Structure 1
Amino acid sequence: MKVLDAEFVQGYIRMANDGWEQGWHERNGGNLTYRMKPEEVEMVKENFQPKEWTPIGTSVPKLAGEYFISTGSGKYFRNVIIKPEDSFAIIEINDKGENYRIVWGLVNGGRPTSELPSHLMNHEVKLIATGGRHRVIYHAHPANVIAMTFVLPLEDKVFTRELWEMATECPVVFPDGVGVVPWMVPGGRDIAVATSELMKKYDVAIWAHHGVFVSGEDFDLTFGLMHTVEKSAEIFVKVRSMAPYKLQTITSDDFRNLAKDFKVTLPEQFLD
């Protein structure tokens, strides 16, 4: 089967385009990676033409032998749907988890996302934490979440409570809360390590003054998670523009009742 005819590849393309249409991917902003299933690799491997091995810049031994789809560094999300073979690649991780090689895509040259170390370190963390269920890592630049990082303390509890309070569905969609990474230079090991530490506890990491990093089981759940966080942030921005305070909100006891009815567990540290 041709790579672009595969349903999982079409799902990847759709998610990338959905993010572009939301306005989260100015220029070449953002990146998306997907850990392929073994049967998906078998489905399209006849199209593979392996290139040379390249150092990842970190070590991810739990991902040895895995295959990923990755957007390309410097590539535009707006072009994924119209020039997919030039906009993303399928890569293979070597048997030590220290190198990768392109086996398909980026036909006009290039390399996977500059955030590849962050993506792969977090794929490894989520592989362990979820027993392999999580396969998607998505980084975008949603404006309202970024705006929040200029006016709130960069603390997990503060961001979690504000986002939960803005929309009733939020504690159901991301019951573990969100983590916050202070501003760091993107693309390096430091931000990758900081994010992977947060991803041991959360499915959402907010990068101050930069964007959001989320993890999920499939394209719909992962996109929906990003969408929900940004919608909540949009409500926050609108509330703050109307008044500097809230006359009423969802209380800690309200959250406890919600958790009971929806059968989710909310960390008590966010309910104090």
Structure 2
Amino acid sequence: MVHAQPPHLTFLSHIPAYRDDATMNARLLRWEPESIVALSQGIRVLPFLVPGSPEMMAANVAALRETDISLWGKHGVMARSDLSVTRAVDRVEYAETGAKYEYMNLAAGGIGEGLTRDEIRSVADAFAVSSPWI
């Protein structure tokens, strides 16, 4: 497992509209074709919880049982991989890159389309990836 405080992911967690799993995953997974492969189980968005608290620990453990990354609202992330620490770091990088594109799109007035659901699905099908986010 890896803990990090990626600035764009953390920033998006400060925006109320991005504080749910469906919105965050839809917005981030649309920017790079390989994101659905690297983050097939997606990101779980947690509300703000006091860092180091038993509540944060319990919510984080529960989230990482089902997803690739737990985004701690207004704080940072934790990523997991059963293969290696490097794979967990890669997941943070993919999520942060998607968040950076999303941030840039917000700054540009939301003019970017990103990948469509059908395009994301075609990548997932090509790589035999199952995901709840397509």
TM-score (structure 2 length as normaliser):
0.91
Counterpart residue type for residue 219 of structure 1: V
Moved over 4 A (4+): none
1:228 aligned residue (79, 94, 97): 94
Q: Deviations over 1:98-150 (max 9, x none)?
A: xxxxxxxxxxxxxxxxxxxxxxxxxxxxxxxxxxxxxxx11111111011112
Residue 33 (structure 2) aligns with: 168
CA distance in 2 between partners of 1:250 and 1:140 (Å)? 27
**Letter of the 1:226 counterpart:** V
- Give me the whole-angstrom Cα distance separating, in 1, the residues matched to 2:111 and 2:71: 23
5+ residue gaps, structure 1: 1-136
Query: Which has the higher relative contact order, 1 or 2, with Cα contacts under 8 A spaced 6 or more apart?
Result: 2
1:169-248 aligned at under 5 Å gives the runs 169-216=34-81, 217-243=83-109, 245-248=110-113
Distance 2:80 2:65 in 1: 11
Superposition pairs for residues 102-181 of structure 1, below 5 Å?
137-151=1-15, 152-181=17-46
Task: Give the secondary-structure state (helix, strand or coil) at the position aligned to 1:179.
Answer: strand
Deviation at 1:247, TM superposition (A): 4.8
CA contact (8 A) 1:176 1:201 kept: yes
Structure with the bigger percentage of helix: 2
- Alignment size in residue pairs: 132
Counterpart contact for 2:34–2:123, Cα < 8 Å: no
How far is 1:175 from its partner?
Answer: 0.6
Write the distance in 2 (CA, Å) between the matches of 1:188 and 1:177: 24
**Aligned residue for 2:115?**
250
Deviation at 1:153, TM superposition (A): 3.2
Q: Using the alignment, how far apart are the partners of 2:130 and 2:60 within structure 1? A: 23
Structure with bigger strand share is: 1
Structure 1 position 200, deviation (Å): 1.5
SS in 2 for 1:180: strand
Distance 2:42 2:111 in 1: 21
Change (3 A) 1:247 1:234: closer
Query: Bigger radius of gyration, 1 or 2?
Result: 1
Deviation of 1:246 after TM superposition, in Å, equals 3.3
The 5 A counterparts of 1:60-75 are none
1:249 Cα deviation after fit: 2.6
- Superposed CA RMSD in Å reads 1.3
